[in-house]
Structure formats: C-alpha cells, structure tokens
C-alpha cells in the first residue's frame, strides 16, 4: 500500500466518523444548492449552454499548439513578457528570478491553485520574501498553516469561533462571532499590504488567444487590487487555460459562476492585456506570465482523459460529491480535491501512488452531471482503476483475473463452481472472507436458490 | 539542452497526434463559434431596451447594488451630491471625464481627479470613487469598467464606495454584446484592464455566509441618466 493511500484511508475514516463536521459542511453547501438552482433556472437551456462551454474548451485544447501560439503572440504584442516552465521547479525558479531582478521585498498574492500546485509560498518564504495571501479564505488557511480544504471555498470547514481565535492570536484583534466583523478585520489588515507590496501574484482563469488577454475571476476584489497596486504583476497559469475567442467568455464566465458558487456572475471578472499602457495613470510597470506544463501534456497525450483539461475549476463536482461531503477536502492530500482531483492527480503525481482516489467513489455520476464543461468524470475514475490494474496489478488482481478467465472459458467448470458455491453458501456466511470484511460487516449474503439459472432455463417448457 | 518553450510545444504536438472524440452534446453544437452566433440558451438579457432595463433593475437589486434613475445630467449631479451629504463623505476621487466634471462640481467635500497622478495612499483615504463605464450588461447586472473609462485600475476598486455615472444608452442586453462592443471600440488597442463588476465586493469564505465589502467597495451605486 502506498504511503499516500495509508494516510488517505486513515484521514478519511476519522473524518467520515465526525458527524458534527459533516453536518457543518452539509449546512454550508445547502445554501449553495439553493442559489445554484435559482441561477440555473435563469438559463433558457442549461444543457445547450453546457454544450457551448464544452465545445469552446474542446476546440482550444485539441488545437492547443496553434491556439497557444496565437495567444502568446498577441500577449507579447500587448507588452507582457511570457516565460515557459516545463515543471513546478522551473516555474518556481522563474518567479524567484523575477523577484530577485526587481529587488522585491513584499509580495501579495491573490488566490491561485496553480501556485498551490507548485508550493510557491514555501519557495518564496525560504528565499526571504514576505508573502501574504489576500483572498480571505486563503489568508485564513495561510495563518492556520493548512492547505486549502476546497479549491474554491478554501476554509469552508473552519467555524467562526476558530477564525476569531486565529485572528486574536496572529493579529491581536478582539474576539467576535460575527462573520461580517471578521471579514472587516482581514480587510483592514490587508489594505496597507497591497499598497506596500512590490509584486502582485495572480493566477489566470482563461487566456484569450484572439486578444492576448488573461481573464481573472474573483468575488472579493483582492485580485483587482493585487494587479493594480504593486509595480510588478506576475501571473502563473497552466497551458490548458487558453480559449480561442473573446466571445467564448460570454458563455464560460456566467457558467463558472453559476456552477461553482450559485451566482449569476462572479463579482469581478477582469481581463488584463499587458502592463500600464501609455496614457494610463496606474497599474504595474511589468507584466510577467509564466506558462506551465507540469504534466498537462501527459493528460493531453491520453485522448480518453484529454477532456479533463477542459476543467475551469468551478468546484461544482466537489460540491455534489458524496465522497467529498463525507471525508472532507483535506483527506485527499492533493492540490485539487474531489472528483476532478481524483482524476488528474494520478497524472500529475503518479498513478501507482494515487490511483486509490479513483477507488474512493460510488460512481454515482453526480460529478459528471454537475460539470459545466461536460467532463466525463466518473468514467475517468473507472479508466484510472483499469489503467492502474494494467500498469501494476496486485496479486489479488492477477489471481482473480486469471482465475475468472480460466473458469468462464469452461462451461462445465463454471457449472460445477456454481453448484459448489450454492452448497457452501451457508458456510461462507460464517467465514471471515478476505477482501470482503468492510462489505460483510453490515450485510448478509443472500440465500442460495434451489436451482441454478442454467437448470431453470433447461427445465422450463416454453 | 533545448529551451522550455520548444520542449513544451514538441510535447503538445506529439500528444495531439492522436485525436480525441468530441464531447457528448445534447444540442446541435453551435458553440465555440464567434459573436455572430446568438445564444438563446443563456439567461435572458431582454429583446427591447425596455425589457433590458427591467432585467437590469432586477439583477442589481438581487446583487445589493443601488440603481438610481435620473432624467438628466443636472439631476445626476444632484443625486450624487445628496448621496455624498447623507454618507458624510470627506474626500472623493473621480475620473476626469466630461460626464463627471459637472457632477463633481456640485459636491461640497474635497475632490480629486485621480487620473492626474498615481497616489495609492491618497486614493485609499478617499471615501468614494466616481467613474464612468464602458457598458452595462442587463442579463447579469454587470458594469464593464476599463482603465480607460474609470481613471485607471485602482479608482474603481480601492475606495470604499464606487459610484458609476452612466447613460441608459450604454445598456447592452448580454455579455456577448458587451465584449463585442469593447472589441469594436478598442480594436487591438484594448485598455490594459477591462473589468466586469457585478455588485459590491463580496465573500462567503466564513461559513458560506455572504458579507459585502471583502476587499473592494462595500457599496456600489449606478446613477443612470435617461
């Protein structure tokens, strides 16, 4: 058993047994379901909108070289600088180099899962820079020294009392149980940090090839401030974020908001095309974009799962997933939680160590149903299971597969096996069966029928 | 060692040698095309100007943004002056624009044309920022501002209150129309920032409970002329 699997099983078991925490998460998601359904009802045809969104991503991802080239040409024409990173280490090195070149001291960040993927904060802090997460949820998680619980709602598992205590400890503020007051504490604390920072780091939700703009979606205004006040703007993005046309956003932006958070539109959807232009009074002097592969081309090379690169990181699949709701986001031990995380993490970090996540699914298909860009999520979980069994089968896999193949090819043996199974079924009931413990704990085997199906078939007079 | 850019492109080209099937579509797949394709499946933005205005007013109310309709420019100035007096604004920053100068002239508090210099600290000390906009999206209640229409990037996000003064002719039915208009107006000389603002700044990060004014403006006013 891989270490990551052992940790997963332990954490998942503990969390699933915590009824209080589960009730808290379910209550938090309750409001989301209501709002999402209200907003979806405003679409004159949600299914057609999903068609459009999935085709917008499909056509870009399946023509990635050309679309990316076009984007980069236009982005550079707008005055931005593009950097290329094959993997996480190259991305960190590039960003550290920029920070060194511009003699930065303080860095402010807006929420960006790609920076979580490459553990950028650790690298920057080790190099001596002060880094502050400005998204409220990420700010709280940074103070807690904990990874995000959910890639859209990073601290949805933390109760207000804990946040109040956290702020008292780190910021010296008076305790309060009002979410409003807690939000204002963070607002006051962060304002001066935006003004003093030399570098603002953001992610990107979409890269628009037609115009060379990057699109950033957020609710709080922290990304707007991060890209407005510091003198250097660095954005980190995966290469798969590109779309062909500016008009694609007229579908993708509202759907991202509705599927992800039950909003008509996220509060700020901002397109950036370069640093401060001639005649503009503010904005950064330099705009750097780091385009990172980090195993995305590995997913691209798998046509069966290529559509997982369509993901717009709305988080809808997490919000409806019975596994996520029961074990929570931290148990996954991944940057991307929930069904999409279970699908792509084996590509990012290795199938052998991470295929267990694809087993942690009821295959109910709620994720596939919720996905605004029609990623075939629950089938990909099955694909991962199959690929893992092919790549490094366990002894049980081998024995079962070969045994089954041997028996099914020989009808007389199959019939004999059935006879023996029917006869010994009452006995089996009492034996501790290997691999069946968890299942049998709450279930009984069914009673054996008097006749096999084959005998019944033979004896029927039709 | 080859450089990262050519390596990544080589990997992409290699990966795409095998084709992937199209997604399972429910409709005819008239998607991913250009803005000439109507999208009668998205939320409605209204067919007539009157419809659009009704939808806009509904959306803004749900977003907790305040819509103030006035008949002419003089009453726009009066509305902003009343707002300023009732909220007791001491300092107001504004975008230097012909639509806004008469509005600002009617204010009794300290005013500052923010376009003239980049002074973050001074801007942070302002109670309100007054800007124009590029367009208003009825379908979603979004206001499109840009670094060109709104005195740069910071004026519409840093002060605690954001006031937008616009003419009702700036309303467009949907997001696609707003994007097409921005493209037609600016061509390949897009302002360095275009931002769709949909209600006052907000967060639900604490127990998924909605709080307004996370980092950006706590209050958003749209003064609509005509």
User: Which residues in chain A have Cβ-Cβ distances shorter than 8 Å to B147?
Assistant: 277, 280, 282-283
Inter-chain touch A300–B30, beta carbons under 8 Å = no
CA-wise closest residue to A98 among A235, A260, A220, A278 = A235
In chain B, the number of structural domains is 1
Q: What is the CATH number of domain A43-294?
A: 3.40.50.10420
Site from B44, B96, B177, B206 to mutate, A interface, most A CB atoms within 10 angstroms: B206
Across the interface, whether the CB atoms of A264 and B192 are under 8 A apart is answered no
Lowest mean pLDDT among A332-346, A359-373, B13-27: B13-27
pLDDT at residue A253 in the model: 98
Question: In the predicted model, what is the mean pLDDT of residues A329-337?
Answer: 96
Contacts of B145 in chain A (CB under 8 A): none
Which of A87-101, A241-255, A404-418, A445-459 is least confident?
Answer: A445-459
Report the chain A residue with the minimal C-alpha distance to residue B43.
A43
Closest residue of B to A56, CA-based? Answer: B32
Task: Specify the pLDDT at position B117.
Answer: 87
Contacting residues of B for A254, CB less than 8 Å apart:
42-43, 139-140, 175
Comparing A232 with A397, which gets the higher pLDDT? A232
Please check whether residue A222 is in contact with residue A283, taking contact to mean a CB–CB distance below 8 angstroms.
no
Q: Which of B20, B35, B41 sits opposite A247 (nearest CB)?
A: B35
Nearest to B153 among A195, A282, A310 (CB): A282
Residue of chain B minimizing CA distance to A222:
B215
The 3-state DSSP class for residue B123 equals helix
Cα of B81 to nearest chain A Cα, Å: 26
> Min CA distance, B151 vs chain A (Å)?
7
For residue B158, the enclosing domain spans: 43-225
Q: Please tell me the least confidently modeled range out of A110-114, A263-267, B18-22.
A: B18-22
Q: Span A324-343, mean pLDDT? A: 96
Token pair, residue B87, equals: 């909220």
Note whether A220 contacts B202, CB cutoff 8 Å. Answer: yes
- CATH at residue B116: 3.40.50.10420
Give the mean pLDDT of chain A: 94
Query: Has residue A444 got a pLDDT over 80?
Result: no
Is B169 a member of any domain? yes
User: Strand A286-292's sheet: what is its strand order?
Assistant: A81-85, A286-292, A232-238, A199-202, A106-109, A130-133
Per-residue pLDDT, averaged over A317-342, amounts to 96
Is residue B15 included in any domain, yes or no? no
Binning pLDDT at 50, 70 and 90, where does residue A455 land? Answer: confident
CA nearest to B199 within chain A: A267
The complex scores an ipTM of 0.96
Structure confidence at residue A394 as a pLDDT band (50, 70, 90)? confident
How many A/B residue pairs have CB atoms within 8 Å?
317
Nearest residue on chain B to A153, alpha-carbon basis: B205
Listed residue (B118, B213, B132) closest to A283, CA to CA: B118
Mean pLDDT of A2-30: 94
| Alpha carbon distances (Å) from B145 to A116, A458, B88 | 30, 78, 26
To the nearest whole Å, the CA of A200 is away from the closest chain B CA by: 14
d(CA B149, CA B185): 12
Say which of B19, B42, B179 has its CB closest to residue A49.
B42
For B148-218, where are the E strands, in sequence order? 161-167, 171-172, 193-197, 202-203, 211-212
- Contact between B25 and A51 using a beta-carbon 8 Å cutoff: yes
Chain B residue numbers with beta carbons less than 8 Å from the beta carbon of A303 are 18-21
Work out the average pLDDT over A387-403.
90
Q: Pick the residue of B94, B203, B215 with the most A CBs within 10 A to test the interface with A by mutation.
A: B215
- Segment A234-242 mean pLDDT: 98
The reported pLDDT for the residue numbered B32 is 45
Is residue A1 pLDDT above 80, yes or no?
A: no
pLDDT over threshold 90, residue A438: no
Tell me what pLDDT residue A26 has: 94
Chain A residues lying within 8 Å of B44, measured CB to CB:
42, 44
Residues A273, B43: C-beta atoms closer than 8 Å? no
pLDDT at A396: 85
Token reading at A183 = 């939000």
Chain A residues inside the 8 Å CB shell of B175: 249-250, 253-254, 265
How far is the alpha carbon of A221 from chain B, nearest alpha carbon, in Å?
A: 5
DSSP state letter for B42: S
A77: nearest CA partner in chain B: B188
Nearest-CA distance A431 → chain B (Å): 46
Instruction: Report chain A residues whose CB lies below 8 A from the CB of B8.
Output: 84, 86, 239, 291, 293, 297
In this predicted structure, the answer to whether residue A30 has a pLDDT above a threshold of 90 is yes
pLDDT of residue B25: 87
For chain A, the domains span 43-294, 395-459
Q: Which of A102-111, A341-350, B21-30, B36-45 has the lowest mean pLDDT?
A: B21-30
Contacts of B63 in chain A (CB under 8 A): 264
**Residue A227 pLDDT exceeds 50:** yes
**β-bridge mates for residue B111, sequence order:** B92
What lies within 8 Å, CB to CB, of A152 at 6+ separation is A260, A261, A313, A314, A315, A318
Residues of B in contact with A190 (CB under 8 A): 215
Would you call B42 and A251 a contact, using CB atoms and an 8 Å cutoff? Answer: yes
In the predicted model, what is the mean pLDDT of residues A308-336? 97
Tens digit of each residue's pLDDT, chain B (226 residues) = 579 999 999 999 999 999 998 888 887 555 444 444 579 999 999 999 999 999 999 999 999 999 999 999 999 999 999 999 999 999 999 999 999 999 999 999 999 999 998 899 999 999 999 999 999 999 999 999 999 999 999 999 999 999 999 999 999 999 999 999 999 999 999 999 999 999 999 999 999 999 999 999 999 999 999 9
The mean pLDDT of A229-249, rounded to a whole number, is 98
């Amino acid at each position: 058993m891989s270490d990551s699997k052992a940790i997963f099983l332990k954490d998942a078991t503990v969390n699933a047994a915590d009824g209080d925490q589960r009730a808290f998460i379910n209550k938090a998601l309750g409001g989301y379901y209501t709002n999402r359904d209200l907003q979806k009802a405003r679409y004159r045809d949600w299914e057609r909108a999903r068609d459009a969104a999935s085709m917008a991503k499909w056509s870009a991802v399946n023509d990635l070289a050309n679309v990316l080239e076009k984007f980069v040409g236009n982005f550079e024409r707008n005055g931005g600088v593009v950097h290329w990173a094959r993997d996480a280490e190259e991305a960190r090195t590039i960003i550290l180099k920029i920070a060194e070149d511009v003699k930065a001291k303080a860095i402010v960040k807006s929420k960006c899962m790609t920076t979580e993927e490459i553990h950028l904060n650790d690298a920057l802090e080790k190099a001596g820079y002060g880094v502050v997460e400005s998204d409220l949820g990420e700010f709280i998680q940074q103070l807690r020294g904990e990874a995000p619980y959910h890639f859209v709602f990073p601290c949805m598992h933390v109760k207000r009392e804990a946040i109040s205590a956290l702020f008292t400890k780190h910021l010296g503020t008076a305790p309060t149980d009002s979410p409003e007051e807690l939000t204002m504490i963070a607002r006051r604390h962060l304002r001066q940090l935006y003004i003093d920072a030399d570098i603002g780091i953001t992610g990107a939700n979409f890269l628009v090839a037609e115009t060379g703009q990057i699109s950033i979606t957020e609710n709080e205004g922290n990304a707007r401030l991060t890209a407005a006040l510091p003198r250097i703007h660095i954005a980190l993005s995966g290469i798969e974020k590109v779309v062909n046309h500016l008009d694609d956003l007229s579908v993708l932006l509202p759907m991202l908001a509705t599927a992800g958070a039950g909003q008509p539109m996220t509060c700020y959807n901002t397109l950036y095309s370069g640093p401060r232009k001639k005649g503009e009074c503010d904005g950064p002097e330099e705009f750097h974009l780091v385009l990172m592969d980090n195993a995305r081309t590995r997913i691209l090379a798998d046509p069966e799962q290529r559509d997982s690169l369509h993901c717009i990181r709305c988080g809808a699949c997490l919000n409806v997933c019975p596994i996520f709701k029961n074990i929570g986001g931290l148990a996954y031990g991944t940057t991307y939680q929930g069904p999409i995380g279970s699908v792509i993490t084996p590509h990012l970090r290795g199938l052998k160590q991470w295929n267990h996540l694809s087993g942690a699914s009821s295959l109910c298909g709620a994720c596939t149903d919720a996905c605004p860009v029609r990623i075939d999520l629950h089938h990909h979980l099955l694909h991962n299971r199959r690929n893992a069994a092919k790549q490094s089968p366990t002894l049980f896999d081998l024995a079962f597969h070969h045994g089954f193949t041997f028996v099914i090819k020989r009808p007389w043996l199959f019939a004999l096996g059935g006879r023996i199974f029917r006869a010994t079924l009452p006995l089996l009931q009492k034996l501790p069966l290997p691999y069946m413990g968890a299942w049998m704990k709450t279930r009984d085997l069914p009673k054996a029928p008097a006749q096999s199906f084959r005998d019944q078939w033979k004896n029927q007079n039709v | 060692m080859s450089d990262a850019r050519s390596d990544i492109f080589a990997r992409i080209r290699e990966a795409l040698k095998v084709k992937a099937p199209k997604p399972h579509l429910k409709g005819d797949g008239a998607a991913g095309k250009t803005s000439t394709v109507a999208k009668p499946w998205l939320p409605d933005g209204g067919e007539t100007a009157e419809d659009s205005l009704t939808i806009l007013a509904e959306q803004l109310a749900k977003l907790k943004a305040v819509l103030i309709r006035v008949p002419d420019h003089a009453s726009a100035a009066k509305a902003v002056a009343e707002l300023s007096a009732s909220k007791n604004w001491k300092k107001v920053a504004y975008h230097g624009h012909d639509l806004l100068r008469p509005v600002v002239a009617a204010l009794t508090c300290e005013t500052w044309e923010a376009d003239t210099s980049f002074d973050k600290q001074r801007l942070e000390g302002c109670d309100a920022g007054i800007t124009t906009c590029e367009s208003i999206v009825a379908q979603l209640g979004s206001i499109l501002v840009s670094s060109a229409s709104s005195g740069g990037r910071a004026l519409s996000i840093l002060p605690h209150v954001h006031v937008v003064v616009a003419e009702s002719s700036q309303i467009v039915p949907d997001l696609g129309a707003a994007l097409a208009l921005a493209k037609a107006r600016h061509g390949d000389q897009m302002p360095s920032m275009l931002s769709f603002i949909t209600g006052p700044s907000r967060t639900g990060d604490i127990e998924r409970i909605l709080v307004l004014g996370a980092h950006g403006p706590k209050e958003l006013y749209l003064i609509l002329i005509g």
